[in-house]
């Protein structure tokens, strides 16, 4: 099964061979054949970091950095993995490359299970799948010339001849748009963009099939970002590379990705071709991401969906759909009807009580009778909810708060105002738009006629 791996780079691999190998890689465009088209396929990938306490280091909890994600990178394509900071993108990259050991899940690379690789196979895999970081400084030893760092993977993987290494390095530095003389310069003499180009040259030294790029342009000036994205596009075409591009920047995904997977708090919430996902986003999280990008067109209608609040703690993720604590479209309980965003505001109050408890000292309420009003004001909840039954529940809960029994108030709200978004985990399913999303809105939309 593993005889496809040889563990050394041919010491005689000449620049010509490498170049012609690269040139002949033109026909590695994505193919339709489902089995053959997938270079990397990730299923149920999970990475939990234990939280330990005491001198016995007992596990008292887990940071669910990546919590069962599925995606594939097809040959010759660029898949974008997008999401806010802290949602597990880098952990996903490190786990699938086995720089970190995954807690669970399978990772298939060219048909083989990466999680089962022996050390020798892992070494071979690392030649075929290269990682590029946000901060190119990490790829370079500040005390040695750039050329030496670029050539280092060749040396590690067995290219003993210094002349050969130098030839490959020269070729690659030129290929990424750098003067070959850059070889003898030190990292601090290079600009950020030049350094990222050199980091790409280094990643390409072993002629990889897959590049995993973690925020490759995020640290660069906007004008330089465009140049590097252009370069990535070129390299991909010339070498038939497959790329997994991790970013929090929608612009980057739009510019160079073919398909995109949207990640939120350790899970994938939407997946599909870039134009479909961003053109017709099906998950409220994706909609919020799309809306949060300022449009260059001043005539464009104002966008009012915004991502508010922070990503919740990955050690204690919300139940059901993890986005429900922030979702502008969180589904109201069936028994009540709410107007406009009344329901979201009542949910905000619920979420705050459940997360932080009740602290009356922060409210500007001079006497007891003002507390309920002050709470409403704080959460922008109207003096009277539009639906009488819902108002009755809220009033009862607020009375309990005023009476000092915040636990009872919290419980009452949780019981009466339970939403499917918190009680059931949505699955990533095909939507009417032709791509997949994990959101209860699609399930309810199927079952109920449109209003």
Which residues bind to Mg ion, rule: CB under 5 A?
90
Residue 91 binding ligand ADP, by CB under 6 A: yes
The 25-64 site mask, x for binding ligand ADP (CB under 6 A), equals: ------------------------x-------------x-
Residues 269-308 that bind ligand ADP (CB under 6 A): none
Site residues (CB under 6 A) for ligand ADP, limited to 64-83: 65, 83
- Within a 10 A sphere around the Cβ of 380, how many other Cβ atoms? 12
At its nearest, how many Å lie between Mg ion and the CB of residue 214? 6
CA dist 180 and 161 (Å) reads: 19
Smallest distance, Å, CB 69 to ligand ADP? 11
CB of 48 to ligand ADP, least distance (A): 9
Q: Output the smallest distance, CB 50 to ligand ADP, in A.
A: 9
Could you say which residues in the range 365-404 bind ligand ADP, by CB under 6 A? none
Pick between residue 263 and residue 420 the one whose CB is nearest to ligand ADP.
263
Check if the beta carbon of residue 183 is closer than 8 Å to that of residue 146.
yes
Distance of CA 395 to the CA centre of its chain: 41
Q: Specify the residue, 94 or 190, whose C-beta has the smaller distance to Mg ion.
A: 94
Residue where the block lists tokens 């990490």: 138
Which partner in Mg ion, ligand ADP, none is near 9 (CB below 5 to 8 A by kind)? none
37 contact partners, CB below 8 Å, separation of at least 6: 30, 31, 74, 75
- The answer to whether residues 205 and 145 touch, using CB atoms and an 8 Å cutoff, is no
CB of 311 to ligand ADP, least distance (A): 8
Q: How many chain residues are in contact with ligand ADP, going by CB under 6 A? A: 12
Question: Which tokens belong to 232?
Answer: 């990535």
Residue 90 or 103 having the CB closest to Mg ion: 90
Applying CB under 6 A, which part among 72-80, 85-93, 327-335, 348-356 lies near ligand ADP?
85-93
Residue 236 binds to ligand ADP (criterion: CB under 6 A)? no
Nearest approach in angstroms of CB 185 to ligand ADP is 31
Least distance CB 310 / Mg ion (angstroms): 16
Closest-by-Cβ residue to Mg ion is 90
Please report how close the Cβ of residue 65 comes to ligand ADP at its closest, in angstroms. Answer: 3
Which of 30, 61, 68, 86 contacts ligand ADP by CB under 6 A? Answer: 86
Contact flag: residue 314 with ligand ADP (CB under 6 A): yes
Of 85, 120, 162, 295, the one binding ligand ADP by CB under 6 A? 85
Using the CB atoms, write b or e for 180-199: b if 16+ within 10 Å. Answer: eebbebebeebebbbbbbbb
Stretch that binds ligand ADP, among 37-45, 84-92, 103-111, 147-155 (CB under 6 A): 84-92
Q: Which does 63 bind (CB under 5 to 8 A by kind): Mg ion, ligand ADP, none?
A: ligand ADP
The footprint of ligand ADP (CB under 6 A) covers 49, 63, 65, 83, 85-91, 314
């Amino acid at each position: 099964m593993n005889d496809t791996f040889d563990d050394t780079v041919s010491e005689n691999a000449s620049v010509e061979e490498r170049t012609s190998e690269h040139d002949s890689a033109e026909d590695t465009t994505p193919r339709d054949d489902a089995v053959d088209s997938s270079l990397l396929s990730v299923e149920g990938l999970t990475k939990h970091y234990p939280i330990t306490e005491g001198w016995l280091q007992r596990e008292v909890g887990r940071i669910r950095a990546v919590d069962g994600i599925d995606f594939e990178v097809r040959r010759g394509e660029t898949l974008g993995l997008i999401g806010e900071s802290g949602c597990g993108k880098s952990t996903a990259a490190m786990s699938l490359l086995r720089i970190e050991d995954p807690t669970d899940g399978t990772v298939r690379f060219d048909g083989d299970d990466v999680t089962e690789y022996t050390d020798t196979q892992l070494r071979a895999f690392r030649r075929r799948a290269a990682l590029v970081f946000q901060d190119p400084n990490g790829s370079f030893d500040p005390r040695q010339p750039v050329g030496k760092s670029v050539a280092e993977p060749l040396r590690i993987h067995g290219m003993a001849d210094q002349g050969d290494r130098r030839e490959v390095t020269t070729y690659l530095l030129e290929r990424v748009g750098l003067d070959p003389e850059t070889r003898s310069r030190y990292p601090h003499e290079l600009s950020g963009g030049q350094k990222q180009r050199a980091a790409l040259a280094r990643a390409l030294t072993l002629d990889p099939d897959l590049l995993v790029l973690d925020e490759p342009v995020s640290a660069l000036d906007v004008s330089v970002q465009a140049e590097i994205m252009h370069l990535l596009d070129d390299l991909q075409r010339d070498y038939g590379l497959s790329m997994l591009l991790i970013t929090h920047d929608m612009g980057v995904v739009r510019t160079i990705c073919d398909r995109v997977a949207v990640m939120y708090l350790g899970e994938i919430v939407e997946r599909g071709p870039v134009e479909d996902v961003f053109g017709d986003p099906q998950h409220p999280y994706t909609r919020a991401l799309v809306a949060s990008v300022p449009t260059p067109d001043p005539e464009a209608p104002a966008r009012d969906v915004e991502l508010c609040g922070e990503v919740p703690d990955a050690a204690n993720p919300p139940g059901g759909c993890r986005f429900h604590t922030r979702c502008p479209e969180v589904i109201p309980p069936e028994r009540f009807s709410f107007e406009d965003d009344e329901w979201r505001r009542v949910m905000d109050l619920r979420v705050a009580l459940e997360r932080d408890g009740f602290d009356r000292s922060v409210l500007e309420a001079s006497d007891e009778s003002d507390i309920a009003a002050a709470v409403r004001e704080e959460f922008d909840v109207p003096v009277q909810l539009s639906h009488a039954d819902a108002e009755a529940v809220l009033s009862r809960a607020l009375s309990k708060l005023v009476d000092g029994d915040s636990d009872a108030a919290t419980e009452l709200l949780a019981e009466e105002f339970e939403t499917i978004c918190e009680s059931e985990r949505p699955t990533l399913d095909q939507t009417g738009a032709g791509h997949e999303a994990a959101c209860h809105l699609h399930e309810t939309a199927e079952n109920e006629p449109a209003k």
